Amino acid sequence: MTDIEPRTDGGLEWTYAPAPESRAIVSFEERYGLYVGGETVEPRSGEWFTSASPATEEPLAEVAQAGPEDVDLAVGAARAGYETWSGLRPSERAKYLFRIARILQERARELAVAESLDGGKPIKESRDVDLPLAAAHFFYHAGWADKLEYAFPNRRPRPLGVAAQIIPWNFPLLMLAWKVAPALACGNSVVLKPAETTPLTALLFADVCRQAELPPGAVNIITGDGSTGAELVRHTGIDKVAFTGSTEVGKAIQRELAGRGVPHTLELGGKAANIVFEDCALDQAIEGIVNGIYFNQGHVCCAGSRLLVQESILEPLLGKLRGRLSTLRLGDPLDKNTDIGAINSRAQLDRITELVESGQAEGAELYQPACELPERGYWFPPTVFTNVAQSFRIAQEEIFGPVLSVMTFRTPAEAVDKANNTAYGLSAGVWTEKGSRILWMAARLRAGVVWANTFNRFDPASPFGGYKESGFGREGGRHGLEAYLGFEG
């Protein structure tokens, strides 16, 4: 439906009428305890914190802040859970995973609304990306559960034990699925800690586990801030750590685990190059650029935050990009027409603002479309920087917000040099009509994923992970299973 509104110059303009998704489908409890051994328990710490909506600053629920004693209980419950879970026939484990996948599908709308409320992402993304992919991860890994011998012939795979899993706030339920599904499929039990700004869908997932009648202790969910995560990593009862988050915390975790012989996988930051050649299909590339950096407000570790454009098409590309930006709708995450939702937290908004200011101070040219920001909540308009030198902070540091830095190149070799001139190596994009050039580029880009004529595409069968400071280990596909298994012989 559309409305016609008078323009200030007296003309008429078509605009979208509000199309809010109903939030009635979600009822949060006032308080959530910890999910330990199949039960909800009060935190021994006696401490709680509030999870709020970043779009309105409205408090949504109180959540437990797990302390050392709580972490210990959860690891103990996961040890007991491991005995049961790893003793089940693999085909039995598969049934539970299929059940969880189906419940996620059945409750998809509720979970999508909860995700948008707690994290600020547009409902069309949580509905069309986060939830379908989370369910797909459980379906995919359900399929593997009784076929591990075939995935690793002659290597006799066995589970590792208790997996400690720490996830970030940008794709709360999807990151949970990336972690929990392969761990369970391989016969491990789990202690999962969601991020402190987005714990609610993980707590709803505890209810999904209950509904699926998952054996107690196979999945345990403890909430809290970084200190809870650090306590979990320090615990001597864990057999594996899987972490997704900032490079800084990843390094701290690695330091803590040094010498302990606990296998770990780290999926950290990124500063991906999205490389556009003059022979590309320009309109498609514009969509890929927009999707690459403005999807999920740029809170994406593999976001295409450095746009490398072949010099000959810089001006036409920028013209089209500016035009496209003016059509993006920023606002209420629960409105089905919203393209750009809220920034996840005040702290993240401050970080983005500081880096954008540094870009201006270093001499880059800023472009933002006319865009009204809501009064309450945390918001940042879609932003493009031109005149960017490779040495600028906005070209080097991960901003994790809707901010694009544009640079140019002349030859494919120069594009590769510039793309690889980063401490990170998570992803890259190449836009060209020439197949041989895609292969030539992909072979030289130091990035775990290289997308060709697309961006931000995910599939549970496709391994995802980084080079250099983007971390190590892969999630998804056969490679992802390997991270949750030990091998005899």
Catalytic residues: 267, 301
In terms of CB distance, is 209 or 253 closer to ligand ADP?
253
Q: Does 63 bind ligand ADP (CB under 6 A)?
A: no
Q: Does 229 bind ligand ADP (CB under 6 A)?
A: yes
In terms of CB distance, is 249 or 355 closer to ligand ADP?
249
Q: What's the closest the beta carbon of residue 269 comes to ligand ADP, in angstroms?
A: 8
In terms of CB distance, is 88 or 252 closer to ligand ADP?
252
CA atoms within 13 A on the CB side of 246: 12
- What are the residues whose beta carbons fall under 8 Å from the beta carbon of 484, sequence distance 6 or more? 159, 160, 163, 182, 183, 185, 186, 188, 240
User: Which string of DSSP letters, residue by residue, matches 143-176?
Assistant: HHTT-HHHHSTTS-EEE-SEEEEE--SSSHHHHH
Q: Does 163 bind ligand ADP (CB under 6 A)?
A: no
> What are the Cα distances from residue 350, in Å, to 8, 218, 345?
33, 38, 9
Among 67, 161, 168, 429, binds ligand ADP (CB under 6 A): 168
Q: Does 476 bind ligand ADP (CB under 6 A)?
A: no
In terms of CB distance, is 198 or 432 closer to ligand ADP?
198
Q: Considering only 45-53, 55-63, 79-87, 188-196, which stretch makes contact with ligand ADP by CB under 6 A?
A: 188-196
**Locate tokens 């750590």: which residue?**
241
**Locate tokens 């369910």: which residue?**
135
* Long-range contacts, 83-86 (Cβ 8 Å, 24+): 84/215, 84/216, 84/217, 84/218, 85/184, 85/187, 85/188, 85/189, 85/215, 85/217, 85/218, 86/159, 86/187, 86/188, 86/189
Q: How many residues does the chain have?
A: 489
Distance, in Å, from the CA atom of 319 to the CA atom of 53, rounded to the nearest integer, reads 35
Among 61, 230, 371, 423, binds ligand ADP (CB under 6 A): 230
Q: Considering only 87-95, 125-133, 247-255, 432-440, which stretch makes contact with ligand ADP by CB under 6 A?
A: 247-255
Q: Does 226 bind ligand ADP (CB under 6 A)?
A: yes
Helices marked H in 168-244: 172-185, 200-211, 226-234
Q: What's the closest the beta carbon of residue 193 comes to ligand ADP, in angstroms?
A: 6
Antiparallel, parallel or unpaired: β 471-472 and 264-267: antiparallel
In terms of CB distance, is 195 or 221 closer to ligand ADP?
195
Among 245, 402, 465, 477, binds ligand ADP (CB under 6 A): 245
Among 93, 193, 264, 468, binds ligand ADP (CB under 6 A): 193
Q: Considering only 23-31, 228-236, 363-371, 411-419, which stretch makes contact with ligand ADP by CB under 6 A?
A: 228-236
Q: What's the closest the beta carbon of residue 81 comes to ligand ADP, in angstroms?
A: 21
List binders of ligand ADP among 196-225 (CB under 6 A): 196, 225
Residue 419, classified by CB atoms within 10 Å of its CB into exposed (0-12), middle (13-18) or buried (19+), is buried
State both tokens at 219.
């999945």
Among 135, 219, 253, 266, binds ligand ADP (CB under 6 A): 253
> What residues make contact with ligand ADP under the rule CB under 6 A?
166-168, 193, 195-196, 225-226, 229-230, 233, 245-246, 249, 252-253
